[in-house]
Amino acid sequence: MGLIDTSYHHQGNEMIVNRSQDCTPIAEYAKAQHNAGYHGSSDVKHAARIPLVIAEKYCNENGVTFAELMTDTKHMKRLVEDPANDAFRIWKGRL
């Protein structure tokens, strides 16, 4: 869902990498899953489908690797429960 566009340019001695993604299909998927009640089971909830560019932005802003994000529940909880990512929530309960 949602191809990622990557572009590069130089700014002084630095290389700048810009990544963008149309997140609309992911938000629409999350809303449809929520409305259909596909939240997972009582044991395992399907909380969200977070676009890769948003996960990358979180990692860059918080100085963590993608591996850390995926294995450290405090980071994943912060990312998923961030109100700015509400459009990507499927199950809206607290993690």
Instruction: Report the pLDDT averaged over residues 8-25.
Output: 94
Q: What is the pLDDT of residues 63-86, one digit of tens each?
A: 999 999 999 999 999 999 999 999
Q: What is the pLDDT of residues 32-69, one digit of tens each?
A: 999 999 998 988 999 999 999 999 999 999 999 999 99
pLDDT computed for residue 42 by the predictor:
86
pLDDT beyond 80 at 2? no
Which pTM does this prediction carry?
A: 0.85
CA max distance for the chain: 53
- At which residue do the structure tokens 């993604």 appear? 21
Q: What is the 3-state secondary structure (H, E, C) of the chain?
A: CCCEEEEEEEECCEEEEEEEECCHHHHHHHHHHHHHCCCECCCCECCECCCHHHHHHHHHHHCCCHHHHHHCHHHHHHHHHCHHHHHHECCCCCC
pLDDT computed for residue 1 by the predictor:
61
